[in-house]
Structure 1
Amino acid sequence: MSERPTPRRVASVIRLRPEHADKYRELHRSVPQPVLDALSRAHITNYSIFLRDDTLFAYYEYTGNDYAADMAAIAGDPDTQRWWALTDPCQQPLDSAGPRERWVDSEELFHLD
């Protein structure tokens, strides 16, 4: 029997455009099942998004063996692309984001297991 990999904890942030806050909340009340399935196929678990002062904070755990390939699979998924076409206009990357970067990863400083 093979062991499950130790989860990789990922936290990232992006701004929520205040004028789209209601729309963004509504979208996340019913995330399409194919989008959720794509996340599951890519070994994403324990996924949450939080909001505070127009800043979105996302946290998830990755339990796969090839993070880059799994993230590419999500990005290439047509249902996820349609979902992002709805959610991306609601968001504004932080000033520290790279030219093609939206959500920016955060540095983990502490973890209590």
Structure 2
Amino acid sequence: MSQLWSPTSSARSGRRLAQIVKLKPEFVGKYKEVHAAVWPEVLKQIKECNIVDYSIFHDPETGILFASFKYIGNDYAGDMERMRQNPKVREWWKMTDGMQESLVPGAKDSESGEPSWWKPMEEVFYNP
């Protein structure tokens, strides 16, 4: 999950991030179903890795999933490595990656890290 610092980030407000991936059309229902009941271990790890205000949106016409969240920690790479070390998170990623197509050339899966499975997006406008 390689990400750039947002031009609006600060130690106080955190770092706003966005990324995209494509959802395979045959998995739309299943993807929504599993995200209606995200495993507690995954939610706990997300919080412990300093990720807050996390949303995923779906565009049914293109199949694009758009994720946005705020990172409020001080060591993004370290926190993402801690996330990657959690066996339940890796199990979740294996399940959800199978429902997705990465838009990043050479990406293998979420667990591999680089290149990232979800394509990072550049923030070009923000109005708090």
Q: Decide whether the 8 Å contact of 1:14 with 1:55 is kept in 2.
A: yes
Structure 2 gap ranges (5+): 1-10, 108-115
Q: Does 1:78 align with 2:93?
A: no
Q: Distance in 2 between matches of 1:47 and 1:65?
A: 18
User: 1:30 aligns to what SS in structure 2?
Assistant: coil
Match of 2:16 in 1: 9
Instruction: Tell me the amino acid that sits aligned with residue 41 of structure 1.
Output: E
Match of 2:122 in 1: 107
Instruction: Tell me the amino acid that sits aligned with residue 84 of structure 1.
Output: W
- Cα RMSD of the aligned pairs, angstroms, is 1.1
User: 2:73 aligns to what SS in structure 1?
Assistant: coil
Match of 1:46 in 2: 53
TM-score, scaled to structure 2: 0.81
Q: Distance in 2 between matches of 1:5 and 1:72?
A: 23
Q: Kindly indicate which of the two structures has a greater share of residues assigned to helix.
A: 1
TM-score, scaled to structure 1: 0.91
Q: Distance in 2 between matches of 1:38 and 1:5?
A: 22
The alpha carbon displacement at 1:99 in A equals 1.3
Q: Distance in 2 between matches of 1:16 and 1:48?
A: 15
Structure 1 gap ranges (5+): none
User: 2:98 aligns to what SS in structure 1?
Assistant: helix
Match of 1:87 among 87, 96, 118: 96
Q: Decide whether the 8 Å contact of 1:43 with 1:64 is kept in 2.
A: yes
Which contiguous aligned blocks of 4+ residues in structure 1 show a shift greater than 6 angstroms?
A: none
Deviations 1:47-102 (A, max 9, x none): 000000210000000000000000111111111011112101100011xx141331
User: 1:75 aligns to what SS in structure 2?
Assistant: helix
% identical aligned pairs: 37
